Amino acid sequence: MESAFELTDVHKRFRLATGGWKDALQGVTLSIRPGEFIAIIGPSGAGKTTLLRLLNLTLRPDSGDVRVSGLNPAKIGGKALRALRSRTGTIYQQHNLIPSLRVVHNILAGRLSSWSIMKALYSLISPRETTSAAEAARKVGILDKLWERTDRLSGGEQQRVAIARALIQNPSHLLADEPIASVDPSRADALIQLLRELTAEDQKTVVVNLHDVPVALRHFPRIIGLHAGEVFFDLPPEEITENALVGLYEGDEEIPEGDARDWIGEATKESLSG
Amino acid sequence: MAAGRFVLLLAGAAAVLASLRFVEFNPALLLYPDALASMADFGQGFFPPDLSLDFLSTTLRPALETIQLATAGTALALAFGIPLSLMAAGTFHLGGGPLFEGDPPARGMRGTLRPAPYWISRLALNAMRSIPEIIWALLFVRMTGLGAAAGILGIGVAYAGIMGKVFAEIMEGTDMRPAIALRAAGASRPQAIVYGVIPGAMRTLLSYTLYRWECAMRAAAILGFVGAGGLGQQIEISMRMFEHTRTATLIIELFLLVALADVISGYIRRRFA
């Protein structure tokens, strides 16, 4: 069976504002099968967001190969590239919605790849395909907000709009960048559960960037640890040792207090017992 | 850093003083007894403003003309300025711009021509903007003859130059992340601009258009001096005839028009933005 995503020795670097370069990814090789449910963890700056942007084809690798559903985006362009992109839905950490538009338009924006520019313009005046927008809104529980201005919604509601926008694409693959960073900690598990339910039926591939290790260990059958732009481990949760986690977060300044080992130890114990 | 800023400030102040000296600007001139006396004479001539019904009724039509001139001119400026601004926003066209991220680089002729709309529109906007509306109007008078048409075209062209540039900069300054998200979902570049950039910039665009409409009201008055009709033309005639009391009335009307424009645009801003 064809891979959902296939990365071969992918390198990506960025020019820093201060001059010099930051190596975001250095030689990543990964194979993700259709229908997998994967968490990517690692300290901030490990390259998680860069990896997601390579997968949704808004970045190109400096070297190496990225393939989505067996196709090489570097070899296609125009309409074919747009069609390939439309098969992957992305939920962003900041949602990246258009605040001044109504919810219905933000959801329908997920349909743009199959609309002409005229239909897109007309829809802004008189929304098209409102039934499918309503259906997507209902699935994420914001049907009653469909006609409100998006910036009047709470952060959690806006995230649901972002999820609905990705769903209405009817994508084969769903990517999410730190989706629980913007919700109340007590809602984190429920959100991952929601993503699972929404994608289980037609077996969408799901790749989620997470900073919360216990949540990753609780919900994901495959966890990829990124460290300094390299794959540090790629394991099912039961095979991830405390030492592996300590190594992954080595030198990370974001760990709140105490020794890294304590923090991860506590977190792991909690999740394995819970 | 602080020292650098201080030097810059000093240099700026020096440049202003040098300019004032160069154009022989002397504020003390305003306080010379002769100047004050002649100013007082001139000022007295304006009182009382001519508020007779006969005269007021003849100014109604010119006042309407001024509004029409400003509104039609602004509409024309929008018609030219919007497409030009879409071409002139660098973030939409220049290689490596946020809307191209992830696209294969355009090679050959396509790659060379990609920034062409940007440079062509910038050149056109600069040319339109650097010539003031009154000079445009004087040029158009040759084509259309004296009257409102030359004034409308004059405002239209000069303001399209200004609005096109400012619109482009407003859109360049708008958050591009929603547009990039739409590109990631398979939207085309024009779609990403229409959905992801313009709605976010709309409030500022509308606000600036209304401000320009107010400016056009004043510009329309000046254009009257070169025969484009409206209150400006009446002011010019009354001054030439030394009918200062009428000039005073007309100036008050112009003030009221600009104030009215301010009220109307304030209302529109609150209602739609």
Residues recorded for chain A: 274
Contact flag A120-B178 (C-beta cutoff 8 Å): no
Which residues between 166 and 205 in chain B have a beta carbon less than 8 angstroms from any beta carbon of chain A?
177-178, 180-188, 190-192, 194-196, 199-200, 202-203
d(CA A174, CA A199): 8
Give chain B positions within 8 Å (CB) of A117. Answer: 188, 190-191, 194
- The lowest-confidence range among A68-72, A185-189, B167-171 is A185-189
- Calculate the CA A273 to chain-centre distance: 27
Residue A268 confidence (pLDDT): 54
Question: Three-class SS of residue B20?
Answer: helix
pLDDT, position A235: 94
Please report the pLDDT score of residue A257 as a whole number: 44
Contact B181 A73 (CB under 8 A): no
- Which letter does DSSP use for residue A226 in this model? E
Give which of A52, A118, A107, A66 is closest to B182, Cα–Cα.
Answer: A107
Neighbour-count burial of A68, counting CB atoms closer than 10 A to its CB (0-12 exposed, 13-18 middle, 19+ buried) = buried
Q: Does A61 touch chain B (CB under 8 A)?
A: no
Rg value, chain B, Cα: 24
| Residue closest to B66 by CA, chosen among B188, B252, B228 | B228
Closest CA to B152 of B60, B81, B235, B223: B223
pLDDT at B90: 86
* Cα A34-A79-A54 angle, rounded to 5 deg: 45
Residue-level pLDDT at A15: 87
C-alpha pair distances (Å), A264 with each of A38, A221, A225, A250, B21: 20, 19, 14, 11, 72
Residue A255 has what pLDDT? 54
Query: CA–CA separation, A269 vs A101, rounded Å?
Result: 45
Q: Which helix (H) or strand (E) holds B128?
A: helix B116-130
Whether A9 contacts A29, CB under 8 Å? yes
Angle between helical axes of B198-223 and B244-272 (0-180°, round to 10): 170
Q: Quick one: pLDDT at residue A259?
A: 47
Q: What's the pLDDT at A256?
A: 45
Q: Is the dihedral of CA A39, A43, A44, A50 positive or negative?
A: negative
The structure tokens listed for B195 are 């959905």
Residue A271: its pLDDT value, please? 53
Confidence band of A214 (pLDDT split at 50, 70, 90): very high
B203: pLDDT strictly greater than 50:
yes
Is B111 within 8 Å of chain A by CB? no
Tens digits of per-residue pLDDT, B208-250? 999 999 999 989 988 888 788 888 889 999 988 888 889 999 9
To the nearest whole angstrom, how far is the Cα of A28 from the nearest Cα of chain B? 18
CA–CA dist B93, A238 (Å, integer)? 50
Segment among A118-132, B37-51, B53-67 with least mean pLDDT:
B37-51
Q: Is the pLDDT of residue A183 over 60?
A: yes
How sure is the predictor about B179, in pLDDT bands with cuts at 50, 70 and 90?
very high
- The residues near A136 (Cβ < 8 Å, ≥ 6 apart) are A107, A110, A164, A165, A167, A168
Q: Is A97 on the interface with B (CB under 8 A)?
A: yes
Closest-CA distance of chain B to residue A56, Å: 6
Q: How far is A127 from chain B (nearest CA, A)?
A: 13
The pTM (predicted TM-score) of the whole model is: 0.84
Nearest residue in chain A measured CA to CA from B180? A58
Which range of A10-14, B35-39, B230-234 scores highest in mean pLDDT? It is A10-14
How confident is the prediction for chain B on average, in pLDDT? 89
Distance in angstroms (rounded) separating the CA atoms of residues A71 and B96: 23
Distance between B77 CA and the closest CA of chain A, angstroms: 22
Q: Does the beta-carbon distance from B185 to A89 stay under 8 Å? A: yes
Cβ-based neighbours of B250, under 8 Å, separated by 6 or more: B59, B231, B234, B235, B238
| Banded pLDDT at B23 (limits 50, 70, 90) | confident
Mean of all residue pLDDT scores within chain A: 89
Residue A16 confidence (pLDDT) above 90: no
Does any CB of chain B come closer than 8 Å to the CB of residue A83? Answer: yes
The least confident of A120-134, B200-214, B222-236 is B222-236
Which ipTM did the prediction report?
0.89
Q: Per the CB < 8 Å rule, is B199 touching A83? A: no
Cα distance from N-terminal residue to C-terminal residue, chain A: 36
Q: Is B161 exposed, middle or buried (0-12, 13-18, 19+ CB in 10 A)?
A: buried
Q: Does A59 touch chain B (CB under 8 A)?
A: yes
Task: Give me the half-sphere count of Cα atoms (radius 13 Å) on the Cβ side of residue B181.
Answer: 30
Mean pLDDT over A138-145 rounds to 94
Task: Compare B30 and A86 and report the one with higher pLDDT.
Answer: A86
Is the distance from CB of B185 to CB of A89 less than 8 angstroms? yes
Residue A199 structure tokens: 């994608």
Most confident by average pLDDT, A90-94, A268-272, B248-252: A90-94
**What pLDDT, on the 0 to 100 scale, is given for residue A274?**
40
Percent of chain A with pLDDT over 70: 91
pLDDT in tens, B84-106: 999 999 888 876 678 888 888 87
Confidence check: pLDDT of A212 > 50:
yes
Q: What pLDDT was estimated at residue B27?
A: 79
Rounded distance, CA B94 to CA B105, Å? 12
**pLDDT of amino acid A265:** 52
Across the interface, do B184 and A57 touch by the CB < 8 Å criterion? yes
Does the pLDDT at position A202 exceed 70? yes
Of B79 and A264, more confident: B79
Average the pLDDT over A222-234 and give the result. 95
Q: Is the Cβ of A143 closer than 8 Å to some Cβ of chain B?
A: no
Pick from A95-104, A240-249, B17-26, B251-260: least confident: B17-26
Question: Which of A82, A98, A110 faces B200 most closely, judged by CB atoms?
Answer: A98
Contact B184 A73 (CB under 8 A): no
pLDDT digits (tens, 9 = 90+) for B120-138: 999 999 999 999 999 999 8
Whether A73 contacts chain B with CB within 8 A: yes
Token look-up 């300590």 returns: A246
Residues of A in contact with B182 (CB under 8 A): 109, 112
